[in-house]
Amino acid sequence: MVKLRDGMWLPAEGVRTEYAEEIYNITPLDGERGLSLLCPVGQIRSRGNTLNMPTVTLDVRAEFDGVISLEAAHWRGAQNHGPHFDLYPDGKPSVEGKISKNDKNATTLASGSLAVTLESEPHRFGLKFHSTDGAKTLTTLGGRSVGFAYSPGPSTPMQTGDMRDFKHYMFFQTGLSVGESVHGLGERFTAWNKVGQSVSLWNADGGTSSDQAYKNVSFWMSNRGYGVFIDNPGRVDLAIGSERTSRVQHSVEGQRLKWYVIYGPTPKEVLKKYSILTGKPGKVPGWSHGLWLTTSFTTNYDESTVTSFLEGMKKRNSPVDVFHFDCFWMKAFTWTDFVFDSERFPDPKGQIARLKEQGLCKKVCVWINPYIAEHGAAFKYAAEKGYLLKRKNGDIWQWDLWQAGMGLVDVTNPEARAWYTECLNGLFDQGVDALKTDFGERIPTLDVQWHDKTVDPHKMHNYYAFQYNQLVYEALQKRYGNDEAVLFARAACAGAQRFPLVWGGDCESTPEALAESIRGGLSMGLSGFSYWSCDIGGFEGSPPPWVYKRWVAMGLLCSHSRLHGSSSYRVPWTVDNDDKTEEGCSRTLAKWTALKTRLMPYFYAQGMESREGGIPLSLRTLALEFPEDPTAWFVDRQFMVGSQILAAPVFEESGEVEFYLPKGRWTSYFTGEVKTGPGWFREKHAFGTLPLYVREGTILVLGNRKESGAVYEYSKDVEVALYEVQAGDKTTAVDYDGNVLGELVIGDDGKIKDTSLLKGDVSVSEKGRDLNGDPPVSIESI
């Protein structure tokens, strides 16, 4: 990470930094849709000052309503190699920019609700972003906030005739206001508010206990109602209120840097506009929301083991919707060659079919990645055909990290993509329905030559995750249909939300890791991703029973729920020696599985709304629903499940938990007790519950208690529970296929106007859901 300053007064050692010092000239772009600013790095007070004077060109454009882009360049003759983010995948909205001047001769460019006003004083540089009506200032580019830097700093301009020994950076610094907080930037496990942190957006396999991230997304959101998207898939370094405590500094290596300022004014509106720019999340099928189970990373996958586990889960009332085979479905040293280990899988197609025919699972997923081991059947063919990434001398790029002699699928080669798709089709032919696309973070940048020689290897490092997951997702869509495709990805970058879904990666089996995972999920949700999951119970190590049970409660409230571990099983009876009591792991898992099953009509309807708005289903920060509540921007140990239900996981073995309820009346899902916020509350919970509160004004459609698993008709034999409703409150009803059936609306008499769009035996509970038939609960207010 380049550091520009040594404190306030001194330049960083070995770095020469040049700042745009004034707006010397303003030229319209594309009529009234933009402005080009010529900005010298010194003040021009005479003609002589224009000589030997570097400049920064800053192009400012109206993109669409509420969005303005800025591109700063030093030497515009430098090539701008790809890959580039695939922007506006659903089409770009029309835009009408408007240029005006005020009585102080200050120039303003407006793009719908967002405007930027340029500094009007001579020999000064500055831009102010504000609502077009002038009611709200968002942020600024103040003095010495845009420019470029050399490392090492040249002692004379003559040295820059040969740039091979110099690195060149572009940077910009947005102002941080008093009390402003910054969130997002992908799946980050550090503190939820990023102010005070230095962040490198560079995909890495670092687990959940470090400042590294599998999913780096070059977008952040402010609690002041705006977001910033950096349009560069390469490494972006941010110093967020750290190098300059009142600024967010962004820097990239190269000669140009483009970014977008996105105005809401609400955080939901910011995310919706960001999703127009980078893409909306894809639709997922209902079965994917059910319980996923894997026999873990290094454990046995023979048919008798898998069958016994699935039968055990069914017997204990935790039916599995998706069974996942992790790495060792292939032989050791052969990953990824797409060949089932014949010793453990003599009849993989038959085995998969039998699992489904016996009703032990509905779908099957297998683990894959883009790394092709030298000893696998696929390597020789792929190498001969030129489908693997090469070194500059023509050798196949290989190393022994992870798999011996592994190569990397060259996703820039159309023929390689077609070959890989055919390999996936072979899996589909054997009954595989979904794919876990692991890895994709360790993408080399040195001594490599991609098939597409126009791409910049540096930019390919992060962007590889987009292209790889796109390849797999489109293969699934082609086989199973656009709305039936599901992958389980670990690496991602901006735009990869279009290929759901992602999970949090390798976490430890500790309460601290549970909290890390929640922070990662919250950050991912503010990065445009609707669907997120984690390894329930933790991946590394063996969870103590109490940690497993607390994680089960949180994990079954994520949009997607998977039991997965490394060297130990995650079926509940292996965790606590098959404790059959109400507080044992098996009964706890059964309770939470049943709860998610009942919530499926709500989950699915909320998921459809979430992806249309580019917002998270779960984990959703409270700040999205209560942006005017300052506390909501700092709560990072609880989350919203959709817009109407608040969940607060428990991190203490004692069951004690402190949680926050925003303004309004909140009803406990488990007891019907009503609490009034805003305020902090303390409770003590047994393992079958956690603070789960339903927001006032909620019409909650619940599946029938007799349903088992996530696959059923979400509009039939349902219970409609009303929570503190008033006239005009409404909710959307959907069926299993995702068809919108219509709205359930509260009339002037406080009752639902019409339930005829629902089928079968429909019951309405007017004071919260009917608690009869629930298992006993133990919740104590403290």
User: Which two tokens mark 267?
Assistant: 């955080």
Residue 541 gets the label, from left (phi > 0), alpha (psi -120 to 50) or beta, of: left
Strands 322-325 and 363-368: parallel
- By the 8 A CB rule, do 487 and 183 touch? no
Nearest of 40, 27, 38, 39 to residue 99 by alpha carbon: 27
Distance from C-alpha of 486 to C-alpha of 664, rounded to nearest angstrom: 37
User: Which two tokens mark 319?
Assistant: 């039916």
Question: DSSP label at 174?
Answer: E
Nearest of 520, 605, 601 to residue 554 by alpha carbon: 520
Nearest of 69, 459, 461, 87 to residue 253 by alpha carbon: 459
The CA R_g of the chain, rounded to the nearest whole Å, is: 27
- By the 8 A CB rule, do 487 and 434 touch? yes
Give the distance from CA 376 to its chain's centroid.
33
Nearest of 178, 175, 227, 235 to residue 203 by alpha carbon: 235
Is residue 505 classed as helix, strand or coil in its secondary structure? coil
Kindly list the catalytic residues. Answer: 438, 441, 506
Question: Environment class of residue 99 by beta-carbon count within 10 Å: exposed (0-12), middle (13-18) or buried (19+)?
Answer: middle
Q: Is the dihedral of CA 441, 370, 275, 277 positive or negative?
A: positive
- By the 8 A CB rule, do 61 and 69 touch? yes
Count other Cβ atoms within 10 Å, centred on residue 688.
Answer: 22
Nearest of 328, 413, 405 to residue 372 by alpha carbon: 405
